Each structure stands twice: as structure tokens, then as C-alpha cells.
Structure 1
């Protein structure tokens, strides 16, 4: 895990030739705690304005952009890979992958508690000589886990109504993540997982409020947008990557959902 301020994050981005003002798709988590000032950002094409007391959680694979750079914002940034908090914490925060409420505004009491935890993480991060390396890492991992679990709960509190569909949906979600570049058919995932298509639709609706087919289509659309904005790949290549045999079918799908062709979307987003 690394702990940075926004100028440090900006410098790191420049080193990688991907400044914060341009769309980036990090392969790690970023948790941003804003202490003061104003921070404009976009996460997966949703715009946010953060102020003092706000938290932002960017998951691996999402497209992040700070259109105006870090500005005058004072913030602490936690950077860590998937798996660092440990398997138990990963299980507890997994809902964040498909409840993408990335902007979190804790109430004053919870914010005070979170800042105390953040201060403890920073203190431990700079106290390597006090502990063995193994103990140092485990201490940071434990403190980070508490922060993440609290943020996950604040971003999307669990609801009992969802519990009946959780396990089938989690398996379906993972299968879609691995397979949306090959198939967009609910029936194919149902056969792969040993469920009926109706079961997957019920499970998805219980968790997200939409059907299984819509969930697949939205995941395909999101990946297409990410590739269009983050890469220079031609739309025909992106079409293949997101599971379409013919570019014309991909273009029609994209226009149906966005009102624009892939080329129009890329041009508008970059402008």
C-alpha cells in the first residue's frame, strides 16, 4: 500500500505519461479522502465534485479523470492492489464492484471515526522501524480493512431483500466479467453455472433491480466506453473485444444505448 497526497499522485501519473487530466484506467484501488478545497473528477463517465469530508473509491479497471487536475484540493490517497486487505475483507467489500456509488459522504460522527483510522494508517505507514516487516504490513492491512468495510457499508448498506439472490448473482457477476467478450446470452451463463435463465434474472433483479440481460448489456456498454475513451483502438477492434462478430451490429447496439455511434462518443468525450 502507498499513501500519497494529490500532488504526489499527480507526479506519479506524469511519470507514467498519463497525467491526471487525461483518462486513466488504473489496475489498483484508489481511496481518496478530501480534507479541504474542491476536487472535480469523473469515474466511469460520471462527474463528481468533492469537498471537505468527501471520500472517493475508484476500483481497478474503472476510468478515472481529473479534468482540472488536483486543483486546490487537500486530500490523502490510499493506493493498493486487489487482495492486499485480505480475503475476508475482499468478501465483505465485494458488493462495491456492482454497487458503484463511488462518492461517499459520511455523517460527522462516522467521518470523525474514519479520519482517526486514516491518521492511524498514516502513522503506521511511516513507522516501519518500530516493527518487523511482517508486523508492519499486517498492521496496515488491518487498519485499511476497517476503513474499507465502513466505506463499503456507507456506499451501499446491505438490504435483507437482496440476500436471497446474492450467491447466484455473485457467481453470475463473475461469469459475466470473465465471459462478456464471448457471449451476451443469459442462457449461455445459465448453462455454464447450472442455473436456469429465470433464476439468474430473479437473482439479478433482487440484487440490482434489473434483469440479467440488461446487466450483461450494461457491462458490455461500459467496457466499450472505457476502451473508446482510454485507448486509440479502432471501433472494429473494440467490437471484437466486447463480443460482437460484426462492427455494424456493435455500432447499432452502441447507438441504441447512447444515441451516438462509437466514433461520435469518442470524439465528444475527448472534446
Structure 2
């Protein structure tokens, strides 16, 4: 159910003007519902739109959530863009958006019947986090389970919705743990449905986990595997083996992919000049950035921006 599409700012003159004057992709922080314990929000698309409007950041504008967002569509149709892919969600589809991705609903919430789960990275248990961690790098997020698995997943989701509404029936500790456990089963099942190879993948372990975090923090300063190896106390070869075990590619490829992703995000969603983007993502000279971008995409940064905004 994945359809290729353009990712951009909201439709209409206001959305186009905002896109052209932006110098950064707005971050959307996690804010729990007042009066409820933090950790998990259960919403529908209209409630999600209302919260976005309260913050002055409508769903039709691109934003970078600092939390996980899962959409399970039950009826109707919902269109959204995640980074550079447009998804048209229909009944039976589940979409998982990870923190830091650029999310946009070009037509708002529409008339879709869906359950939306919002939770920060720290809410799932450490054991669940270890099981789902590498899923952040699966290149697709849309899952359409077969009928039997769909029935099981919707049963879990219904139980989660019911327990979430039952605040007060349990002690606060038991209530949070119940939500955490039900969510964990859903997350683990979605990961394995999205990437069945994980059943046999060994993963990169602690070296890769530390490496990916270091790259996330440092790709704007350095693109050298040797620099991250020195920072973390591993050899470049160890980081390359760990990255290959987790993702099937080497450490240098992983760094380059992360840099390229950020370059595309900034070219599409901001008005920053390519020279400014070059500096922001760690290139000493714009010409080096242009050569890097052309090598990986076959286009110049300016040509890519022109094409995606056509």
C-alpha cells in the first residue's frame, strides 16, 4: 500500500510560503495530556489534529516529532508523508513513524477512522527496546498484516485502548505497567511483520548501538569512521562488523546514508541555500557536498530541490 510521492510543506499559498522561508524543520516535542500519567497517548486523527493546531503547527505542515507515532487504520483513508514517501493508508494498514522522521499529513485528518498511539522513546521497557531497536533503520514503515494476524493485533489494540481509558481501576504503577506490556507485544509483532529477516539476524550489539547514537549526535561534525571509533574506544573494523551484522552495510555507508537523509530533508523542507546545508551537515566546502550528493543521487542539490518542488 505504499505509493511514491513528494514530501513537502502544506498545500496552498500559506504552506508554500512557510516552506520557502523556513531555515529549520520544526521539532514537535512530546507533551502528555494534562491530568494523566505520561508515557502513552491514545488518540484518533481528529484529536491528533486538534492537538497539533493548539501548538500552532497544523498536521498539514511538516514537522519532526520527538516521539513514536503509530497509526492503525480501521476505516476510511488517510494520506501522510514520512520523509520522502507518501503513504495512502486504508483499513488494515499500520504505519509506524519513528522519532526524528519528518511527518506531514497533506490533507489533514480527513474522515478516517483510526487509532493513533503516541509515546516517547523511554516508555517501552529496556527489553522491548532491545528487540525493536534496529527497526528504526528498516527502509519502510507500513505494515498490512494478513487477516489472522490483523485480528490478533486489533484485539491487542482494543485491549490497550480499553486499559488506557481505565485510569483509576488500578494503582498507578500497575496501570502504567499494563499499558507498557500491551504496547510491547504490538511493537514486537509489527517489527517482525515489517522485517521477517529479524528472526535470524544477530544484530550489532552494543558497539552498533553506541555507534548509531554517536553518528546521530556527530554527523554534522565528522563523517569518518575512524573518528567515531576513537570516540567510542573501538577499532574501525569492529564498528564495521557491528554495523554489517545489524543492517547489512558497512559503517561508512551508514554514516553516508545518515548525512544524505539529512541533506534531502533540509533541501525539501527548508529554504536554506545548499552552501548553508553543506556546513550544517559537516562538509568543509560546498563543492565537496555537491560532489557527494551527485555521487549518491545522480543530481546536484539544487537539481534535487527543483525536482521535488516541481
Q: Tell me if TM exceeds 0.5.
A: yes
Q: 1:156 to 1:108 in 2, by over 3 A?
A: same
Q: Which residue of 2 aligns with 1:118?
A: 157
Please report how far the alpha carbon of residue 21 of structure 1 lies from its aligned counterpart in structure 2 after TM superposition. 2.1
* 2:78 aligned to which of 39, 42, 50: 39
Unmatched 5+ stretches in structure 1: none
Q: Which residue of 2 aligns with 1:223?
A: 262
Does structure 2 conserve the Cα–Cα contact (< 8 Å) formed by 1:40 and 1:47? yes
Counterparts of 1:93 and 1:134 in 2: how far apart (Å)? Answer: 24
Does structure 1 conserve the Cα–Cα contact (< 8 Å) formed by 2:74 and 2:92? yes
Q: Which residue of 2 aligns with 1:109?
A: 148
Please report how far the alpha carbon of residue 159 of structure 1 lies from its aligned counterpart in structure 2 after TM superposition. 4.3
Please report how far the alpha carbon of residue 46 of structure 1 lies from its aligned counterpart in structure 2 after TM superposition. 1.7
1:203 to 2:253 alignment: no
* 1:191 aligned to which of 215, 230, 255: 230
Number of aligned pairs? 270
Counterparts of 1:11 and 1:210 in 2: how far apart (Å)? Answer: 41
Of the two structures, which has the highest relative contact order with CA contacts closer than 8 Å and spacing of 6 or more? 2
Deviates more, 1:102-111 or 1:9-18: 9-18
Counterparts of 1:209 and 1:136 in 2: how far apart (Å)? Answer: 39
1:143 to 2:182 alignment: yes
Unmatched 5+ stretches in structure 2: 1-39
Does structure 2 conserve the Cα–Cα contact (< 8 Å) formed by 1:29 and 1:80? yes
Counterparts of 1:113 and 1:27 in 2: how far apart (Å)? Answer: 29
1:11 to 2:56 alignment: no
1:91 to 2:130 alignment: yes
Q: Which residue of 1 aligns with 2:202?
A: 163
Counterparts of 1:139 and 1:155 in 2: how far apart (Å)? Answer: 25
Counterparts of 1:123 and 1:260 in 2: how far apart (Å)? Answer: 50
Matching of residues 172-183 of structure 1 within 5 Å: 172-183=211-222
Does structure 1 conserve the Cα–Cα contact (< 8 Å) formed by 2:192 and 2:199? no
SS at match of 1:227: helix
Counterparts of 1:250 and 1:164 in 2: how far apart (Å)? Answer: 31
Does structure 1 conserve the Cα–Cα contact (< 8 Å) formed by 2:267 and 2:274? yes
1:212-237 CA-partner distances (Å, limit 9, x unpaired): 22211110011122233344444333
Counterparts of 2:57 and 2:47 in 1: how far apart (Å)? Answer: 14
SS at match of 2:65: coil
Q: Which residue of 2 aligns with 1:61?
A: 100
Counterparts of 1:12 and 1:228 in 2: how far apart (Å)? Answer: 28
Q: 1:111 to 1:199 in 2, by over 3 A?
A: same
Counterparts of 1:229 and 1:86 in 2: how far apart (Å)? Answer: 35
1:211-268 CA-partner distances (Å, limit 9, x unpaired): 3222111100111222333444443333222111222322332233234443443454
Counterparts of 1:210 and 1:136 in 2: how far apart (Å)? Answer: 41
Counterparts of 1:179 and 1:138 in 2: how far apart (Å)? Answer: 35
* 1:247 aligned to which of 272, 283, 286: 286
Does structure 2 conserve the Cα–Cα contact (< 8 Å) formed by 1:24 and 1:230? no
Please state which structure has a larger fraction of its residues in helix. Answer: 1
Please report how far the alpha carbon of residue 192 of structure 1 lies from its aligned counterpart in structure 2 after TM superposition. 3.2
